[in-house]
Amino acid sequence: MPQGSNASRRSESSRRAILAATEELCRESGYRRLTIEAIAARAGVGKTTIYRWWPSKGAVVLELLDEAAVVGTAPPDTGDLAADLRSLLTEVIELSTPQDSAPGVGLVAEALQDPELGRELRERLIEPRIATFKQRLRRAQDTGELSPDADLDVALDLLYGPLYHRLALHLGMPDRAHLDALITHVLRALTPPPEHPPTP
Amino acid sequence: MPQGSNASRRSESSRRAILAATEELCRESGYRRLTIEAIAARAGVGKTTIYRWWPSKGAVVLELLDEAAVVGTAPPDTGDLAADLRSLLTEVIELSTPQDSAPGVGLVAEALQDPELGRELRERLIEPRIATFKQRLRRAQDTGELSPDADLDVALDLLYGPLYHRLALHLGMPDRAHLDALITHVLRALTPPPEHPPTP
Amino acid sequence: MPQGSNASRRSESSRRAILAATEELCRESGYRRLTIEAIAARAGVGKTTIYRWWPSKGAVVLELLDEAAVVGTAPPDTGDLAADLRSLLTEVIELSTPQDSAPGVGLVAEALQDPELGRELRERLIEPRIATFKQRLRRAQDTGELSPDADLDVALDLLYGPLYHRLALHLGMPDRAHLDALITHVLRALTPPPEHPPTP
Amino acid sequence: MPQGSNASRRSESSRRAILAATEELCRESGYRRLTIEAIAARAGVGKTTIYRWWPSKGAVVLELLDEAAVVGTAPPDTGDLAADLRSLLTEVIELSTPQDSAPGVGLVAEALQDPELGRELRERLIEPRIATFKQRLRRAQDTGELSPDADLDVALDLLYGPLYHRLALHLGMPDRAHLDALITHVLRALTPPPEHPPTP
DNA sequence: TACTAATCGAGACGGTACGTCGCGTCTTACG
DNA sequence: CGTAAGACGCGACGTACCGTCTCGATTAGTA
């Protein structure tokens, strides 16, 4: 593909330096104290260069997380549905755990107040994971593990909801036992007792 | 409570003016653009007076919401458990709906990044509602509507979780049908099929 | 006049620090490289404090020169008109000589491009000196040294003009001999050969 | 001049576009707001092209004025010395009058602070005019209109000085009457009353 | 006529300073 | 004393231009 003259003049090395500096500073002082000014200084880059390519510090952090995330587009499928769901949920839990938390939580907090950032966050980080999640559940429907008319959006709310609930309220992420309890409850609710369908 | 001579010389009229100004400004420009500086100006109050009594703008807004909320400490009990749960959840949904959302959502966002504010938010706004919620569920256990060993913390996660989930992801609050689906699912999961207990 | 409550809250110590820093920086690096940012840093003062009280760096420098100038409002009068004029002109020449030149020349340069600054410069620094100059010439008219209908504005142009001429063209200030030549010429032109008046 | 193969590959059309853009922008927004960046944009030219051929915006403007000026190298000589001087002075006055003033005044202002630009300005714009001026005066000495030992440098100062004086002080250029008064005075001072020479 | 190197347009880049905003503290005068 | 008013030191903001630096794409003189 001869994209030739269409090539952006953007400096890849600056881009990398900016993301690296962002990651360092976030780790050192947290999302809150993160500053475009400081990123530029640490990265050895003009502020302009940051503003040229990102609209806000949130967008920089978003790209950082986006790069960091190894997106396995195919859902895990060990044959054990509960285990697979647990591993999907665990990925999110780990993104919200202290040492790495700064960028993730800060980003969610900022996105709450900034619709445009929220949209980006949803499109680039969240929706792919939702898709993966639903893909796994759909497969479970195919194998008859789940009721074929189970409402997958409800399942999504029920399984991911608690994580955000606890995040927002500083309640600490659910431990292994609690997580298993959640999954068990939800699967039970979605598993077809043949005679009455889940939603009236 | 004979606090007598100990009575604070704090000016109640300033306090009210501050909260009123906060409410107006929040409504006009949103939590994000809210500023201690602007509150003081609008309220005709010195900045010192605000800083003397509140540690941050979040704390002011928290007090505003705290005053606004009519906390029915006793849970609703119409005899219809699903309906009662729906009305409890609806209160929170309304706090997160556009016109009034600014203070509520902004506060949650800020609390995500400010542990102290998070603690205050939890203690003064959240926990009373959690208590009310659990109280109603416990009554349902007493009447046999719910399994006596149902895990109420899990129920809490399952019912409130989705709201925060959707809040954080700008997904829009669940509509009436979805909400009912949620409640139905959760109640089904908590209702005892006598042979296997909810947690393994 | 008990101006009491009317007293400005302005910090005199900051004002002095700002002027001192300005003077130092001007001496060290010249008017051109002088920067509000640097003044603030050197003075240990917020930039806001400078912008609050002065509209531009030119205004700060103007105030600096204004304070530095010992304005003898009464003109010198040794009885020797030429000598008195020479001493008046010398004051201006010294303000435009290298070591002290930075502020003075820079200010004139900036005022050339900034009408508001030009007005201030004129009112606060220039016009008092013009008044003094004219006062001395008027006294010379009283004593008959000068023609009573000599045009003092023309005299002003003729005597001060060359200084600005040379300043603008980097020609160097007139030396003692040239200055005396100038004064001699001008006085001769203003001294009445009784029959024909100076202006037609 | 066999510069032959050495011929510059410089683009004349770019040069003209740059000068034209400079002239327009100067007229529209004044020398002060003039910017290399803006010149390049308006001229449809890369910034590099400007920096390759001129060291500063002052140099561009200088070239602009240099081209615009129709330098009559031979002084006017109508036989009426006062009239000839007036027409020489008028050329400078017009260069400093509002509509065209921007480039001229700005250039002088900048040159005050930039010795290199000052030198260029002097050599290319000023000195030719001084030469012309002196040439005319010398001719007047030949015809006996002026004292043969009149100091032409003093004459220069006395006649051009007031213009810069007024320019620097935003005093407005001398009107016709004042200009005539100046010329009259100066000529009187330089005309030989046979018994006492002009300088003591 | 084709080659080849200087020049061109475009504009990203690392910087410096700008002028503004809001912070949280401090100072002053009043009630 | 608490208060209204607001100046203060500070830090970050987002912008404007600077002068330098790649990038192909002309383009003009030479081979």
Q: Work out the pLDDT band at C45, boundaries 50, 70, 90.
A: very high
Residue of chain B whose Cα is closest to the Cα of A171: B122
Give the CATH architecture of domain C11-53.
Orthogonal Bundle (1.10)
How far is it between the farthest Cα atoms of chain B?
Answer: 67
> Which chains are adjacent to chain B, needing at least 3 Cβ pairs under 8 Å?
A
pLDDT, residue B38, reads: 97
A52 touches strand F (CB under 7 A): no
| Any C CB within 8 A of D107 CB | no
Angle at A56 between CA A55 and CA A61, to 5 degrees: 115
pLDDT in tens, D78-115: 989 999 999 999 988 988 877 777 899 999 999 999 99
Encoding tokens for residue B106? Answer: 């902004």
pLDDT, residue A72, reads: 60
A100 or C174, higher pLDDT: C174
Direct distance between the N- and C-terminal alpha carbons of chain B, in angstroms, rounded to an integer:
51
**Nearest amino-acid residue to F20, taking CA and C1':** D48
pLDDT, residue B192, reads: 65
**D153 contacts on C by Cβ (under 8 Å):** 178
- Mutation pick from A146, A158, A179 vs chain B, by most beta carbons of B within 10 Å, is A158
Residue B100 has pLDDT above 80, yes or no: no
**B199 contacts on A by Cβ (under 8 Å):** 177, 180-181, 184
Q: H helices then E strands: how many in chain C?
A: 10, 0
**CA distances in angstroms from C49 to A83, B24, B35, D32, listed in the order given:** 63, 31, 21, 26
- Number of Cβ within 10 Å of residue D193's Cβ equals 11
Compare CB distances from B165 to A119, A151, A157 and report the shortest one's residue.
Answer: A157
**B57 contacts on A by Cβ (under 8 Å):** none
**Chain D stretch 31-60, residues whose beta carbon is closer than 8 A to a beta carbon of chain C:** 31-32
| Contact between D113 and C109 using a beta-carbon 8 Å cutoff | yes
| Contact between B158 and A109 using a beta-carbon 8 Å cutoff | no
Q: Which CATH class is domain B69-190?
A: mainly alpha
Encoding tokens for residue D50? Answer: 């400007």
| Contact between C170 and D106 using a beta-carbon 8 Å cutoff | no
* Nucleotide in closest CA–C1' contact with C35: E17
Q: Work out the pLDDT band at C194, boundaries 50, 70, 90.
A: low
- Number of Cβ within 10 Å of residue C25's Cβ equals 21
**CA distances in angstroms from D167 to A150, B136, C68, C118, D106, listed in the order given:** 86, 87, 25, 10, 11
Q: Cβ(A113)–Cβ(B111) under 8 Å? A: no
Angle at A158 between CA A156 and CA A163, to 5 degrees: 90
Between the CA of D48 and the C1' of E5, what is the distance in angstroms? 18
| Residue A159 to residue A166: CA distance in whole angstroms | 12
pLDDT, residue B1, reads: 42
| Residue A92 to residue A95: CA distance in whole angstroms | 5
Region of poorest pLDDT, from A30-34, C172-176, D36-40: C172-176
Q: DSSP label at A76?
A: P
**D172 contacts on C by Cβ (under 8 Å):** none
Q: Work out the pLDDT band at A104, boundaries 50, 70, 90.
A: very high
Single-letter code of the amino acid located at B14 = S
Compare CB distances from C115 to D170, D174, D186 and report the shortest one's residue.
Answer: D170
Write down the mean pLDDT value for chain C. 88
Q: Cβ(D42)–Cβ(D21) under 8 Å? A: yes
Between the CA of A68 and the C1' of E13, what is the distance in angstroms? 26
Q: Work out the pLDDT band at B200, boundaries 50, 70, 90.
A: very low
Q: Work out the pLDDT band at B44, boundaries 50, 70, 90.
A: very high
What's the CATH code, domain A10-53?
Answer: 1.10.10.60
Please indicate whether chains D and A are in contact, defined as at least 3 beta carbon pairs under 8 Å: no
Residue B72 has pLDDT above 90, yes or no: no
Q: Cβ(C162)–Cβ(D161) under 8 Å? A: yes
Q: How far is CA D97 from the centre of its chain?
A: 13
Domain ranges of chain A: 10-53, 71-190
Q: DSSP label at A137?
A: H
- What is the least distance, in Å, from the CA of B183 to any CA of chain A? 10
| Residue C64 to residue C19: CA distance in whole angstroms | 6
Strand E bases near protein CB (under 7 Å) are 6-30
Residue D8 has pLDDT above 70, yes or no: no
Which C residues between 26 and 85 have a beta carbon under 7 A from any strand F atom? Answer: 44-49, 52-53
| Contact between C174 and D161 using a beta-carbon 8 Å cutoff | no
| Residue C151 to residue C139: CA distance in whole angstroms | 14
Q: Cβ(C47)–Cβ(C40) under 8 Å? A: yes
pLDDT, residue D5, reads: 42
10 Å CB burial of residue D182 (0-12, 13-18, 19+) is buried
Encoding tokens for residue A175? Answer: 């431990």
C185 touches strand F (CB under 7 A): no
Give the CATH architecture of domain C71-190.
Orthogonal Bundle (1.10)
* Nucleotide in closest CA–C1' contact with B46: F4
Torsion (CA) D127, D132, D136, D141 in degrees, nearest 10: 40
| Residue B47 to residue B45: CA distance in whole angstroms | 6
The CATH superfamily of D68-190 is Tetracycline Repressor, domain 2 (1.10.357.10)
D36 touches strand F (CB under 7 A): yes
- Mutation pick from B26, B92, B170, B179 vs chain A, by most beta carbons of A within 10 Å, is B170
- What is the least distance, in Å, from the CA of D9 to any CA of chain C? 35
SS (H, E, C) D98-135: HHHHHHHHHHHHHHHHCHHHHHHHHHHHHHHHHHHHHH
| Contact between A31 and B113 using a beta-carbon 8 Å cutoff | yes
Residue B76 has pLDDT above 90, yes or no: no
Direct distance between the N- and C-terminal alpha carbons of chain D, in angstroms, rounded to an integer:
51
| Any A CB within 8 A of B105 CB | yes
Q: H helices then E strands: how many in chain D?
A: 10, 0
Q: Cβ(A194)–Cβ(B181) under 8 Å? A: no
Q: How many Cα atoms are found within 13 Å in the side-chain-facing hemisphere of D29?
A: 9
What is the CATH topology of the domain spanning D9-53? Arc Repressor Mutant, subunit A (1.10.10)
H-run or E-run covering B66? helix B57-68
Write down the mean pLDDT value for chain D. 88
Residue of chain D whose Cα is closest to the Cα of C155: D182
pLDDT in tens, B151-172: 898 899 999 999 999 998 888 8
